[in-house]
Amino acid sequence: MKCALCLEDKKLRKSHIIPEFFYKPIYEEDPERYFGVSTDSSEGIDHRQQGIWGRLLCGDCEQHLSKWEDYASTLLYQRAQVQEISIGLRVVNVEYEKFKLFLLSLLWRAGATSRKEFSEVSLGPHEEKLRRMLIESEPGPPEKYGCMPVLCPKYKDLLQKMIISPDTVKVRAHHVVRFLLGGLFWNFFVSSHTPSIASDGIFLTEGGELTILAESEFTSDYIEQLYRRWKDSGNLDDLSDKFGANNAA
C-alpha cells in the first residue's frame, strides 16, 4: 500500500491520527478506557480503549513525525515555561521548527485519513502543500497554517478529560479547523492568504513564544453550541455522570 506521506509503496503501520500523548490525562483516570464524544447530537458517548488510528504511514515516515511528537509531548506536559499575560498565557523558549512541524503534522493527518471521525476536515489543495512541508521538514513562516490555541476557563476541568472530533468553520473569510486536545482548542487557519490576526503575534513566533488565549468568541460559541446539542439529545446527563461534570452546563 502507498504511504500517505512519502507516497512510496511500503508496508503501512497502525498510525495514530491524534498523537497518543493527548490521551494520557484521560487514561490516567481510567487506564482501561476513555469516552468518545461526537459533535453530532444524534450520537451518544461510546467507550473506547485506544486512540484513533488508521493505516496511513510507513515505518520510516512514522519515525520522521515521531521526533516532533516527542518534543511536543515533553514541552506540553513536562517542560513548558509559562507566563501569565493580559490575554491569557504565553509559553516561552519553544523550539519553533519542531513545534510548528508537529502542529502541521496534526492538521495534515486529520485531512489525510479516511476515518469518519475526521470527515469534517477537508484540506483540498492544502493537503498536498502540507505533505510537502512535512516531508521536507519545512515549517514555513508563522502565518502559514498558523495555529491559535485557546483556553476555555469556564469548562476547563471537563475539557481536559475530552477529545472531540475536529470540525471546520469559516472565520473572517478563512477556513479554520478546530481540534479539542489536552484541554485546549487548537484553531488552524487554512487559507491561501494571510490572516489579519497574524500581525497580532497570536501564532507561534520564530522567537519561540506561543500565546494561549484565555477566551475566543467563536470558541465560546462553539462550546455553548455543543452543550445545547448534547442537552437536547439527552447526552449531557450521560456526559455529566461519566465525567463528573455536574456543574458544566
pLDDT at site 243: 43
pLDDT at site 151: 86
Residue 244: pLDDT band (50, 70, 90) is very low
- When comparing pLDDT for 194 and 166, which is higher? 166
Query: How many structural domains compose the chain?
Result: 1
- Outline where the chain has alpha helix (H): 24-29, 59-74, 96-112, 125-135, 156-159, 217-233, 235-243
- When comparing pLDDT for 199 and 117, which is higher? 117
Angle 59-74/125-135 helices, nearest 10 degrees? 80
Residue 23: pLDDT band (50, 70, 90) is confident
**Complete DSSP assignment for 13-63:** EEEESS-GGGGHHHHHH-TT-EEEB-S-TTS--EEESS--EEEEEEHHHHH
Residue 32: pLDDT band (50, 70, 90) is very low
CB 121 within 8 A of CB 179: no
What does the pLDDT average to over 74-80?
87
What does the pLDDT average to over 181-188?
90
Does the residue 214 lie in any domain?
yes
Q: Would the pTM count as exceeding 0.85?
A: no
Tell whether the model's pLDDT for residue 225 goes beyond 80: no
The number of angstroms, rounded, from the C-alpha of 146 to the middle of its chain's C-alpha atoms is: 13
Helix (H), strand (E) at residue 12: strand 12-16
Question: For residues 80 and 64, what is the distance between their CA atoms, to the nearest angstrom?
Answer: 23
Question: For residues 26 and 34, what is the distance between their CA atoms, to the nearest angstrom?
Answer: 6
Does the residue 82 lie in any domain?
yes
pLDDT at site 212: 93
Helix (H), strand (E) at residue 167: strand 164-171
Does the residue 209 lie in any domain?
yes
Does the residue 1 lie in any domain?
no
Domain that holds residue 24: 12-243
Tell whether the model's pLDDT for residue 107 goes beyond 60: yes
Does the residue 231 lie in any domain?
yes
Question: For residues 222 and 118, what is the distance between their CA atoms, to the nearest angstrom?
Answer: 17
What does the pLDDT average to over 74-86?
89
Does the residue 249 lie in any domain?
no
Does the residue 212 lie in any domain?
yes
- When comparing pLDDT for 160 and 20, which is higher? 20
- When comparing pLDDT for 232 and 201, which is higher? 201
Residue 192: pLDDT band (50, 70, 90) is confident
Percent of the chain with pLDDT over 70: 74
Does the residue 3 lie in any domain?
no
